[in-house]
Amino acid sequence: MNHQYATARVEDRGGVLLLTLDRPAVANAMNTQMGRDLLAFFDAINASPAQARCIVLTGAGERAFCAGGDLKERNGMTDEAWQDQHLLFERMVRAFIGCPVPVIGAVNGAAYAGGCELALCCDFIYAADTARFALTEVTLGIMPGAGGTQSLPRAVGERRAKEIILTGRPFSAQEAYQWGMVNRLCTPGNVVEEALETARRIADNAPISVRQAKHAIHFGMQVDLASGMMLEIEAYNRMIPTADRREGIASFNEKRKPRFQGR
């Protein structure tokens, strides 16, 4: 896949991809080009998921994960241009959420508005204990439009999400942790390495198993329990004819580390 993007860096860490939003001079704010770059990245992963076993998403520098949409670029935009840009962002978010490979958010600093929504697209989040979050869109005459009204209630509950979104008030990483939005608090400067450590643990597991388990959890949460159980069994049965399933059982009985190949 292409590792060269105008607004993002992609580093291969041995089966784990570190994806860094790379506009630190503007707090990694998301402009049109970043929307194109992230869409291209996730489209490439979705088309060929075997090329990565886990992804870590972070922002360049220590000040910000992502400050949201680039309001300087948006200043003076026509309604048509704004809608065209937002359609690009919508496509990018759908590609992100649809990514079969696990994505860990490593929130190193402020994650505001669209930046908070990007973090919420991740499967789970590690955050520096100095990080701040907010969905500020209603203070600008708009509303969350990159999944925030759907992903935040699923993370913190409906009533808490309404308070966060309707006030636009920032909240701390500690609050996000207490509310269940953030999985782990890290000391500043260590969040990426801790996320990478977990990503390597995921990458050591059977990749088809990991992708199928993610699929079952994600879609199972959107249906009733009986339908979710059926979905789980369909995902489980995908494992039975794989070489990785046979390798996993053989390695256990031979008391050695398994060598999963994604087949």
pLDDT at 80 over 70: yes
**What is the residue-averaged pLDDT of the chain?**
95
Phi/psi for 71 (5° steps) reads -75, -20
Nearest to 53 by CA among 161, 171, 198, 180: 198
Mean pLDDT of 153-179: 97
Mean pLDDT of 63-74: 92
Distance, CA of 37 to CA of 39 (rounded, Å): 5
Which distant-in-sequence residues (6+ apart) come within 8 Å of 245 by Cβ? 206, 209, 239
pTM (2 d.p.) = 0.93
125: enclosing H helix or E strand: strand 124-128
pLDDT above 90 covers what percent of the chain? Answer: 90
pLDDT in tens, 180-229: 999 999 999 999 999 999 999 999 999 999 999 999 999 999 999 999 99
Per domain, the residue ranges of the chain are 8-203, 207-253
Q: Which CATH homologous superfamily contains domain 8-203?
A: 2-enoyl-CoA Hydratase; Chain A, domain 1 (3.90.226.10)
| pLDDT at 262 (0 to 100) | 86
pLDDT at 1 over 80: no
Question: Class of the 207-253 domain?
Answer: mainly alpha
88: enclosing H helix or E strand: helix 79-97
Instruction: Count other C-beta atoms under 10 Å from residue 119's C-beta.
Output: 27
